[in-house]
């Protein structure tokens, strides 16, 4: 498949975020022609501010990038058993844009967390939060990276071979979904 565009949303803004490392590892394995991380530093959603000032340029840009992508990675940390406010805020803002950027979009969900469950609850919550937008959410294999801060080498690569294999399978599923949408 040619001209494959992949974009990623990372729910952690931390510079050394393990979720971002996981996102870039997934992008490497997906091997798109172009990968773009969306900037989710949006203002807090406030319907009054939308009514007064419209959609912020950064939100519109993110929605356009999703609409123009062949596939999307949504990567979430687990904050108090749920997704981060950053990610929920981004999803809420993007839902206010014209059009349906997520509709039928192949999406893979990933999570990385310090706990032993690898952010399972956050990933399940992210799945629920995405459902209203009707993307093509890849069902599995589920990639939940536990004890995530110690899982990457200095080169940013995932150390564990099993994790690499799982991620590879998930990215293959995502590619298959893109192929279905292009047929």
Which residues of the chain form contacts with ligand FMN (CB under 6 A)?
A: 12, 14, 17-19, 77-81, 112-115, 119, 148-149
3-state secondary structure of 85: helix
Q: Based on CB atoms, which residue is closest to ligand FMN, 109 or 113?
A: 113
**19 phi and psi angles, rounded to 5 deg:** -65, -40
Q: How far is the CB of 132 from ligand FMN (least distance, A)?
A: 24
Q: Based on CB atoms, which residue is closest to ligand FMN, 65 or 123?
A: 123
Q: Based on CB atoms, which residue is closest to ligand FMN, 81 or 127?
A: 81
Radius of gyration of the chain (CA): 16
- How far apart, in whole angstroms, are the C-alpha atoms of residue 148 and residue 68? 31
- How far apart, in whole angstroms, are the C-alpha atoms of residue 164 and residue 4? 21
Q: How far is the CB of 56 from ligand FMN (least distance, A)?
A: 24
Q: How far is the CB of 149 from ligand FMN (least distance, A)?
A: 5
Residues 6+ apart with CB under 8 A from 87: 9, 11, 40, 74, 76, 126, 129
Of all residues in the shown chain, the one whose CB is closest to ligand FMN is 115
Q: Based on CB atoms, which residue is closest to ligand FMN, 63 or 86?
A: 86
Chain centre to alpha carbon of residue 117: 18
Q: How far is the CB of 70 from ligand FMN (least distance, A)?
A: 25
Q: How far is the CB of 78 from ligand FMN (least distance, A)?
A: 4
Q: Based on CB atoms, which residue is closest to ligand FMN, 67 or 117?
A: 117
DSSP 105-117: -EEEEEEE-SSTT
């Amino acid at each position: 498949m040619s001209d494959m565009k992949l974009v990623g949303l990372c729910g952690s803004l931390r510079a050394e975020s393990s979720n971002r490392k996981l996102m870039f590892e997934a992008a490497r394995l997906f091997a798109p022609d172009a990968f773009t991380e969306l900037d989710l530093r949006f203002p807090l959603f406030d319907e009054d501010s939308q009514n007064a000032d419209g959609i912020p340029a950064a939100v519109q840009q993110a929605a356009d990038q999703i609409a123009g992508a062949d596939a999307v990675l949504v990567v979430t940390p687990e904050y108090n058993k749920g997704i981060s406010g950053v990610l929920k805020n981004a999803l809420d803002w993007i839902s206010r844009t014209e059009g349906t950027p997520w509709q039928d979009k192949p999406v893979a969900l990933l999570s990385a967390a310090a706990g032993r469950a690898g952010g399972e609850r956050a990933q399940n919550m992210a799945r629920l939060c995405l459902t209203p937008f009707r993307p093509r959410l890849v069902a599995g294999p589920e990639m939940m990276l536990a004890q995530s801060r110690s899982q990457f080498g200095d080169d940013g690569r995932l150390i564990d071979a099993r994790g690499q294999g799982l991620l590879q399978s998930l990215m293959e599923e995502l590619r298959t979904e893109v192929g279905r949408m292009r047929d």
